[in-house]
Structure 1
């Protein structure tokens, strides 16, 4: 695992210096503490930070092809590099190292941009073709590894993290109003946007080519999450386990200590079970516990650890762990409102004391209908399909307005929320169900001046753009597709990447192997959803490998007692952040409305933790940026 950065001049008047790139690269030293490296010519600069995992002695970067035509910087792992090497050797290619970086170089020489079809892994890389004077930049299919870019002084700069781009003295900190609306909706800024108007993320499953004549960056999609109808019958238990074992085995190749996160839930427990059956020595397992029983599931991790006799480590998180709250803005570079970033950092910190590579169970909920929201969405969709949209708006919109809001109540009593949802299209309704902050509350928080800047933009446009031109006969498949295009790269994988890289730890995710995703999406929804039970087929297949408590207990999720912590141990820090002049002076929000929100939450009248945490994280980033800008004045 590594970090990369670089630039390419886009005109004769373009400006960039080796000193700027060295400063950028220094900002991501945590991603690769083992080594750094640089390449410069008249048009391009490439930089790299290395965390050695495979071919520790010979995988230095930037790496040049044997004929010296290509040079590459690469962040990630190519899991099938040995099989790709065999294919390339049959075509006459020779290998000087056992590094997957050399595989990428030879694959690009052999197949050009089609090399991406041959690579199975998590990656972001840039290849400079000295002969054609063309730079090729690509990102993995599901977005496990990040890539940001911006144009400054007619020069394209790119890097693994925004902090490297911010290191440029002319970085444009101008915030994008649409990105703020998206953030307040999702709790993160979905790709390709960033918080900053003139900086972008390269979307997962995309690449672009750029040379000195390039005027605009136009990424090309090379892979998409499947979105057709089911193609396969429900698999046997044996096939399900075989496929899970195969993608797990592929991610266990390492020359450094290897382990796994273990929450005690279905997915992480499944990965540990597969690992235990694939290696002779005990698995190194790492779990997080909380001092609040309602969110503590460490006892279920213990069940798996004892069954498979793992080398188990438990890290307990309490409110004394708050010192990392101040580091979140530095870690993420743009606002990120998933509060599980705190325990994720702590579990990565604990893991790094034992191992350099850790496997994770992420992806199971999205692939096998593990979230309750999928089932609720499907039930509401049945009503939508019986009535046209115009009629539903006529019937349910007034009911939603008249009915008292009962968001605190059990779902079946939350009629206002249900009426609101039934008055919407499928994608609008799903956005409504997953929003950190609902549309009416967002609008009430925004200042008049910010509403003017925002115009008629609403975050539902993110979903509309994604489903445009696609046909979904199954609303659950549509919701899963949207999650894998937004929630997965924007929240889950961003959180895992930043938390792990901040601790110089590599995390691998077996269930996000693209072949596993393609297989899972081709299965009928009935394989996973049996009545009210999600993940039914996966759980059944795992019954010989895991206990009933691990498979069939009520889902807890990986969360902290945020509402409670914001009322007491974090309250002063929260209040201070929301009153910071650098934040208030942006005039994004109605200050009085924020004060009311804060007071009602403090009294325990309402749970406004999602909104307050979102504002807290946004304030931290804005204030951090203000300090950086002031230091350059």
Structure 2
């Protein structure tokens, strides 16, 4: 795991010093070694966190003396050993024992066609010396980030937006569309970023940069339409085999390794398989809260005792919230309001004191239908045939969205509860947020952004029909291509890498994901039980009362804190960001909304939490820190 950066100016001259401020903001991702390489208009930089081959042979950028190609990689290629042996039979020689050199030679042999061969989490850049082009790529699920800026001066890229914004060729002008989508979702979805000049390479895509410009192509897509005929027993056997292989591949490391354990189904199952494969007791790590409603430490401790692991616990207190939040916001580099980011930061910091690599349970809900919303789509599944697999038109959905007639709310509820559950977020959550936006936006902002979030969400729901044939799996597809990469994986990547901790996720292995996608939906949810197959598998290793307790989630008591000990902190943050808010918002209406929530007159939890994070980011932006 590392930080990568680069700049390509076709026909231009190299100035390696321009990467210095970018790499300076990637040191936390790669504290062990930094290095740059440049020639003929291309500059590559790398900040290394040493995981495999701790010698100098593992340093990057790596240059192929035969082809002149060069590479920088962030992440891990888990099947690198198999690929290396295949390449050796074709005459390739290796100086290192790690995975980065394998990818460099794999590209020399297959070009961009090598991407589907990779099994792992990665973001990379390869300089193709013969073709005089730069190739960038990102893993299938979006575990590793990659930001780029196609500027008049050249093409720049980096692992984090905060780092890329430090490049002298990159403008820091704010993208108001990204701000609007952030207020709706709590994150900025790809390909947007908070800066107009910077974009995100989407998961499962690669880009090719030549003197003619940038072209982006998809190399993999998640599809739920091709189904496998099998029974429950066969499915469980195959899932276990795939998950054991995914876990074993992720245990390859030349540095200490542990696991993140929440006490939920996903992380408990991963730790159980690790314990089964490890000769020594696995070290596990949990974060908790003083508020019992949000605390899972007892459940994690029970799993730890059952599995015989060496367990560590860290507790986040309300006072720590005000102290941590501004630095957490700066670390994410653009507005981001998943409230578990603070807990993830604390957990990562505590874990890094003991190990450099940790396995986690990310992706289990999106793999195996872990959210209660999937069970609510059962009626829609039964009525699905009547709809003939066609989405509602944009005009019809917008009419339903905008309708203020007395019976309109009942019609909307009937639509997303009985027929079109993929429209739930649009017709319920976004409709409420749209009313807030109409209240707090300045007139010019409201006019400019009218229907932006609606159109984006509608397009996402419409596209789901091309990847799944039933409402449940349409929702699952949407979660996998939006919520997972744009929120959940961003949260853990930034939090873990802030402390130089590599987090690996067996449940995000694409071989396992493709198999699960092919299973009939009736096997995935039974009798209203979410995550049915993973729970049945986990029964072999974990006490049933842990597996079948109500889902808790990794959230924090932010509403209570904002209305209590952090009320003045919230007011002060909003006040300091007044110059920023004055450009886009009706500040009197904005202040009124915040006060309504703090004083308890109304509940604007999601809006005020998003506004607080936006305010803290704006203050950091004004100070030149992001």
Distance 1:395 1:72 in 2: 51
Instruction: Name the counterpart of 1:53.
Output: 51
Query: Quick one: which of 433, 446, 451 aligns to 1:451?
Result: 446
Change (3 A) 1:399 1:44: closer
Counterpart secondary structure, 1:565: helix
2:58 corresponds to 1:63: no
Instruction: Name the counterpart of 1:106.
Output: 105
Change (3 A) 1:70 1:392: closer
Distance 1:208 1:604 in 2: 49
Q: Could you tell me how far 1:463 is from its partner in structure 2? A: 5.1
Distance 1:66 1:263 in 2: 47
Distance 2:303 2:71 in 1: 42
Change (3 A) 1:182 1:381: farther
Q: Could you tell me how far 1:420 is from its partner in structure 2? A: 7.1
Instruction: Decide whether the 8 Å contact of 2:422 with 2:471 is kept in 1.
Output: no
Query: Quick one: which of 217, 220, 227 aligns to 1:230?
Result: 227
Higher mean C-alpha deviation, range 382-391 or range 581-590: 382-391
Distance 2:320 2:192 in 1: 31
Instruction: Name the counterpart of 1:362.
Output: 362
Instruction: Name the counterpart of 2:93.
Output: 94
Q: Deviations over 1:555-609 (max 9, x none)?
A: 0000111110111122112112222255545432232332232222223233322
2:622 corresponds to 1:626: yes
Instruction: Decide whether the 8 Å contact of 1:500 with 1:507 is kept in 2.
Output: yes
2:410 corresponds to 1:402: no
The residue correspondences of 1:383-394 to structure 2 (distance < 5 A) are none
Query: Quick one: which of 12, 17, 21 aligns to 2:19?
Result: 21
Instruction: Name the counterpart of 1:505.
Output: 501
Q: Could you tell me how far 1:621 is from its partner in structure 2? A: 1.7
Q: Deviations over 1:531-569 (max 9, x none)?
A: 321111221121121111211000000011111011112
Instruction: Name the counterpart of 1:203.
Output: 202
Q: Could you tell me how far 1:234 is from its partner in structure 2? A: 3.9
Instruction: Name the counterpart of 1:150.
Output: 149
Q: Could you tell me how far 1:396 is from its partner in structure 2? A: 7.1
Q: How many residues align?
A: 617
Q: Could you tell me how far 1:437 is from its partner in structure 2? A: 5.9
Q: Could you tell me how far 1:11 is from its partner in structure 2? A: 5.3
Distance 1:3 1:290 in 2: 31
Higher mean C-alpha deviation, range 144-153 or range 602-611: 602-611
Distance 1:199 1:425 in 2: 34
Q: Could you tell me how far 1:132 is from its partner in structure 2? A: 2.1
After superposition, the CA RMSD in angstroms is: 2.6
Counterpart secondary structure, 1:355: coil
Q: Deviations over 1:128-161 (max 9, x none)?
A: 1222211111111111111001133421010001
TM-score (ref. length: structure 2): 0.93
Change (3 A) 1:162 1:253: same
Higher mean C-alpha deviation, range 363-372 or range 170-179: 170-179
Instruction: Decide whether the 8 Å contact of 2:563 with 2:598 is kept in 1.
Output: yes
Counterpart secondary structure, 1:48: strand
Q: Deviations over 1:186-224 (max 9, x none)?
A: 11011111111221000110111112x223x22100011
Higher mean C-alpha deviation, range 387-396 or range 74-83: 387-396
Change (3 A) 1:393 1:141: closer
Instruction: Name the counterpart of 1:412.
Output: none
Distance 1:398 1:82 in 2: 56
Change (3 A) 1:17 1:206: same
Query: Quick one: which of 521, 534, 548 aligns to 1:552?
Result: 548
Instruction: Decide whether the 8 Å contact of 1:204 with 1:489 is kept in 2.
Output: yes
Query: Quick one: which of 452, 461, 479 aligns to 2:456?
Result: 461
Higher mean C-alpha deviation, range 164-173 or range 494-503: 164-173
Instruction: Decide whether the 8 Å contact of 2:171 with 2:197 is kept in 1.
Output: yes
Instruction: Name the counterpart of 2:170.
Output: 171
Instruction: Decide whether the 8 Å contact of 2:379 with 2:418 is kept in 1.
Output: no
2:388 corresponds to 1:352: no
Q: Could you tell me how far 1:401 is from its partner in structure 2? A: 4.4
Instruction: Decide whether the 8 Å contact of 2:381 with 2:472 is kept in 1.
Output: no
Distance 1:280 1:234 in 2: 34
Q: Deviations over 1:511-530 (max 9, x none)?
A: 10111110111111111211
Higher mean C-alpha deviation, range 229-238 or range 287-296: 229-238
Distance 1:486 1:394 in 2: 21
Distance 2:293 2:30 in 1: 37
Query: Quick one: which of 492, 511, 514 aligns to 1:515?
Result: 511
Structure 1 unaligned segments of length 5 or more: list them: 406-414
Change (3 A) 1:549 1:467: same
Distance 1:240 1:433 in 2: 35
Distance 1:591 1:474 in 2: 44
Query: Quick one: which of 531, 536, 539 aligns to 1:540?
Result: 536
Distance 1:379 1:424 in 2: 8
